[in-house]
Amino acid sequence: MESVKLTPREEALKQEIVGKVSRYFGKVMEDATPKMVYTACALAARDQIMTKWAVSHKEVKEENSKKLYYLSFEFLMGRLLTTNILNLMQTDEYVHVLRALGYELNEIAELENDAGLGNGGLGRLAACFIDSLTTLDLPAYGCTIRYEYGLFKQKIVDGYQIELPDPWLENGNAWEIPRPEETVEVKFGGNVYTDWYDGRFSFRYENSHTVLAMPYDVPLVGYDSKIVNKLRLWSAKSPDFMNMNEFNRGNYVRAVEEKQLAEVISKVLYPEDNHTEGKELRLKQQYFLVSATLQWILREFEHRYGRDWHLLPEKAVIQLNDTHPTLAIPEMMRLLMDEKGLGWDEAWELVTHLFAYTNHTVMSEAMEKWPLDMFKRVLPRVWMIVEEMNRRLLEYLNCVYPNDPAKHKYMAIVSDNQVCMANICLYTCFAINGVSKLHTHILTSDIFADYYRLNPGRFHAITNGITFRRWIMDCNPELTELITSKIGPGWLKDYSLLADLKPYAADAEFQKKFDAIKKKNKVHLAEYIKEHNGIDVDPESIFDVQSKRLHEYKRQLLNILHILAEYNRLLEDPKYDYVPKTYIFAAKAAPGYARAKLIIKLINTVADKINNDSRIGGKIKVVFIENYGVSIAEKLVVAADISEQISTAGKEASGTGNMKFMLNGALTIGTLDGANVEMLEQVGEENIFIFGLKAEEVETRMRYHNQDEVKKIYTTNHTLRKVLDQLIDGSLCPENTQIFRDLYQTLLFGDYGYPDVYMVLRDFEAYCATQEELSRLYLDRKKWLEKAIMNTACAGFFSSDRTIMEYNDQIWHLTPIE
């Protein structure tokens, strides 16, 4: 151990950590494992947060302020140790103390399991939002399921994705506090009988199954903020230890089976994103989270304000993160009527002022629709309410859009024997928002246009953002320090001040330092790649990164086909003066999404071929990084030179990865899609590399058969033709020449006669040209760095603090705690 001089505060922290190692593990420091040291640090930080919490709790209570409940099936929090310490403004203390104990904070922090309770963008957005809410001193609760298994772990075996479970709670979770005393009951299935009792209807349930919902709370601190908010995670428990009837009859297996059937509800996160399948267990998860959360909200409310229910919309607002928690709407009706004794109209008045809905996708396969028979069976009483809502909706639609049955059907809650969740939200919520300007435009002019016309004032465009605490301060401390050394620390709390960096973009001295930091981050990533992939990559080469979920609309296929074309050209043209490049991919595919998994196999196959071809002298390297998640994203965004944001225009609602790369000084190659449009506005067209079809152009092509266009491209673009042919001529995978035929087929002929619906072929030429432009630019260091710094300087708008302020001004109207 180093002998380091500690301040008295640091000395106290050191004793705290040493004490925890001794009390929790019965070890002296010398015998403690690094994992024990991690847990001791986490518990020490948690103690500090808890002390703060007690004070914050008292203040929130005294102010009787309105609260936000952010309902989401995903909170992709990642690791919490370093962000919590950062938000407590104690990073230096922890670094010093750990060093005195013989450890590095970064190495200790790496031992924490990622909390991977989300698929991608929507879940990470929830995590960024709760950080910004807390930093801005706005009282808010995140509400989700305590999945025992988060998103699967990905392994690549022989180029294929293999899924493994993610038992993230295995070694305990130092951040959560169980609250068994706040357990509530949630009922499923059975029969509902209506009785007339005491002058009103009452509802009796027979043969329903009860599942207990037990909450765990994770307290959350904001950056340099006064309050502590919390993430509430609900865990499913069986009400009985086991079914004693069955047990006594000697039926041991049946006896424990029932218990497991209850607890399976919070077992695992569904790994599909931007896609839904009507799985009964998912419906149960939805009702479980929603019912438990609402019972808690009403209990808290009643505790504080009694039965003054009309005050509810003044004291609470509920944000629905996509349609997944939509059942909250009929469930709130049920609780207010059946349990609190309100009439339909009174309950409706409250419900229509309580809920706001965010849409995150326009992909039709992601629209949630539940089969009617399943819905009735699992949620018989909620169904009665949904049916009545639908009846009233149709009555209304008959007035506002008379004689238009097609429209009624499209707008109805129940049609084609399905319950359409989006239409429940569109009918009921007082605010509806898209997640970027373009996305909201598509909602209001296309998929939700009929609802928009009836009441345009409810619709909002609120562009997503990312928290700077995690996405620059925590993952790129050196760049944070460099920026602060020039413009002061104000930008850390006021994102608009980041623009003060613009004058330094052309400053040679600043460029040099900026470049050195990027280089250092690239070296780190190269080491990681060497360790995990066994591939040598050159930190001097351009690092071009595409990291996000694997989906056809995100067009990883466009990227890999272009790489193959570059490789072909290098082999054919010895005079090609190629700027060396390292292409980095990271992506998980939904386990049931065969084509996405095939694209992963293709990337790995092309990677193997190129990386092992000595003829090109290592000028191109292709790397697929396994198990993409928050912690890997932190390593990638700081090391990228080029950020790939190349979705088919009109399909990516916003994107948030794009913002993380921009903030850390990567140049974007992208389409005019989602928030890329606004990145262009912020940074100016000379600093971003836009190519390809625009959203309206895609839309017209999707509508009309583009078979002729595809044929023309195939016959005239020889580069592309060669690459396509390589998919099936055995040059990639001689031992199995046909494995990529599906990709070839879908691009050229399509599944239902519509070839290339994602416009990969159509945008190929423009993409190649723009890639070439970037490679040339890279050789001009001054120019490149100026653009990179401008990207950082213009990223202030994409702080989730700005996003949260907009939500608060337009929708929530919360008052910051004084």
Positions marked catalytic? 360, 548-549, 554, 656, 660
**Residue 674 binds to ligand 26Q (criterion: CB under 6 A):** yes
Instruction: For residue 727, give both structure tokens.
Output: 């998919």
- Residues 447, 785 contacting (CB under 8 angstroms): no
In the complex, minimum distance from the CB of residue 553 to ligand 26Q, in angstroms, rounded to a whole number: 9
Nearest one of 559, 583, 562, 555 to 640, comparing CA atoms? 583
> Strands 316-321 and 67-71: what pairing?
parallel
**Residue 144 binds to ligand 26Q (criterion: CB under 6 A):** no
- Residues 205, 229 contacting (CB under 8 angstroms): no
In the complex, minimum distance from the CB of residue 327 to ligand 26Q, in angstroms, rounded to a whole number: 12
Options 284, 360, 601, 619; binder of ligand 26Q; rule CB under 6 A:
360
Options 656, 746, 770, 775; binder of ligand 26Q; rule CB under 6 A:
656
Distance in angstroms (rounded) separating the CA atoms of residues 176 and 216: 6
Options 232, 324, 601, 619; binder of ligand 26Q; rule CB under 6 A:
324
Nearest one of 184, 399, 427, 260 to 329, comparing CA atoms? 427
Q: Name the DSSP class of 115.
A: E
**Residue 150 binds to ligand 26Q (criterion: CB under 6 A):** no
Positive/negative CA dihedral, 238, 239, 241, 243? negative
- Residues 757, 702 contacting (CB under 8 angstroms): yes
Options 78, 116, 121, 665; binder of ligand 26Q; rule CB under 6 A:
121
Binders of ligand 26Q among 625-644, rule CB under 6 A? Answer: none
Site string for ligand 26Q, 233-272 (x = CB under 6 A): -------------------------------------x-x
- Residues 760, 645 contacting (CB under 8 angstroms): no
- Residues 129, 803 contacting (CB under 8 angstroms): yes
**Residue 552 binds to ligand 26Q (criterion: CB under 6 A):** no
Instruction: For residue 119, give both structure tokens.
Output: 């698929």
In the complex, minimum distance from the CB of residue 464 to ligand 26Q, in angstroms, rounded to a whole number: 5
In the complex, minimum distance from the CB of residue 396 to ligand 26Q, in angstroms, rounded to a whole number: 28
**Residue 390 binds to ligand 26Q (criterion: CB under 6 A):** no
Options 517, 653, 695, 698; binder of ligand 26Q; rule CB under 6 A:
653
Distance in angstroms (rounded) separating the CA atoms of residues 808 and 815: 9
CA distances from 572 to 33, 565, 583, 615, 706 (A): 55, 11, 20, 11, 32
Amino acid letter for position 313: P
In the complex, minimum distance from the CB of residue 270 to ligand 26Q, in angstroms, rounded to a whole number: 4
Options 222, 629, 650, 655; binder of ligand 26Q; rule CB under 6 A:
655
Closest to ligand 26Q by CB, 118 or 215: 118
Options 10, 273, 566, 678; binder of ligand 26Q; rule CB under 6 A:
273
Site string for ligand 26Q, 276-315 (x = CB under 6 A): x-----x---------------------------------
In the complex, minimum distance from the CB of residue 187 to ligand 26Q, in angstroms, rounded to a whole number: 22
Instruction: For residue 724, give both structure tokens.
Output: 């396509």
In the complex, minimum distance from the CB of residue 570 to ligand 26Q, in angstroms, rounded to a whole number: 34
Distance in angstroms (rounded) separating the CA atoms of residues 449 and 615: 56
In the complex, minimum distance from the CB of residue 692 to ligand 26Q, in angstroms, rounded to a whole number: 17
**Residue 368 binds to ligand 26Q (criterion: CB under 6 A):** yes
- Residues 577, 548 contacting (CB under 8 angstroms): no
3-state DSSP assignment of residue 357: strand
> Strands 620-624 and 642-645: what pairing?
unpaired
**Residue 327 binds to ligand 26Q (criterion: CB under 6 A):** no
**Residue 36 binds to ligand 26Q (criterion: CB under 6 A):** no
Site string for ligand 26Q, 697-726 (x = CB under 6 A): ------------------------------
**Residue 604 binds to ligand 26Q (criterion: CB under 6 A):** no
Distance in angstroms (rounded) separating the CA atoms of residues 224 and 550: 37
Distance in angstroms (rounded) separating the CA atoms of residues 106 and 477: 12
Closest to ligand 26Q by CB, 358 or 390: 358
In the complex, minimum distance from the CB of residue 286 to ligand 26Q, in angstroms, rounded to a whole number: 8
Instruction: For residue 796, give both structure tokens.
Output: 């202030």
- Residues 146, 177 contacting (CB under 8 angstroms): no
Place of tokens 């349609």: 323
Options 84, 144, 154, 274; binder of ligand 26Q; rule CB under 6 A:
274
Instruction: For residue 214, give both structure tokens.
Output: 């037990």
- Residues 203, 381 contacting (CB under 8 angstroms): yes
The residue ranges that bind ligand 26Q (CB under 6 A) are: 119-122, 125, 270, 272-274, 276, 282, 324, 360-361, 366, 368, 435, 464, 652-656, 674
